[in-house]
């Protein structure tokens, strides 16, 4: 399996998990949506600045993603990267990543 195929499979799996966790309800508007129309919205955007500042592991982490309708609903979930809420989200993701790493290495 190529790297592109592995990435695509990971995204499909994340979409399924997020759709299931949200019970098929749009995070932004609270209306039902189908898994085929659902978009993955980044709470902290995947801009070059944010990717450089926090890294792909944080920006593409499941805790930073929400399922939404396309368009307006997608943009409604964005956080100001300088906000306390974004800072807490990054902290929580980094903590989860460290915990997962520690489990992998038996710490």
Q: Is the pLDDT of residue 106 over 80?
A: no
For the stretch 8-57, pLDDT in tens is: 888 899 999 999 999 999 999 999 999 999 999 999 999 999 999 999 99
Question: pLDDT, tens digit, for every residue of 88-98?
Answer: 999 999 999 99
pLDDT of residue 107: 63
User: Closest Cα to residue 76, out of 36, 12, 26, 32?
Assistant: 26
pTM (predicted TM-score): 0.85
Q: Which residue has tokens 């995070």? A: 27
Helix (H, G, I), strand (E, B) or coil at 73: helix
Longest dimension (CA), the chain: 44
Q: Looking at residue 40, what is its pLDDT?
A: 95
Tell me the chain's radius of gyration from C-alpha atoms.
15
CB-CB contact of 42 with 85 (8 Å)? no
């Amino acid at each position: 399996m190529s790297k592109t195929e592995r990435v695509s499979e990971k995204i499909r799996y994340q979409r399924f998990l997020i759709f299931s966790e949200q019970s098929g309800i749009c995070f932004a508007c609270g209306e039902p949506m189908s898994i085929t129309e659902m978009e993955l919205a980044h709470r902290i955007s995947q801009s070059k600045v944010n990717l450089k500042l926090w890294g792909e592991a944080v920006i593409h982490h499941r805790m930073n993603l929400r399922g939404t309708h396309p368009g307006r609903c997608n943009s409604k979930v964005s956080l100001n990267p300088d906000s306390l809420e974004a800072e807490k989200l990054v902290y929580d993701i980094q903590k989860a990543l460290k915990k997962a790493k520690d489990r992998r290495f038996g710490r």
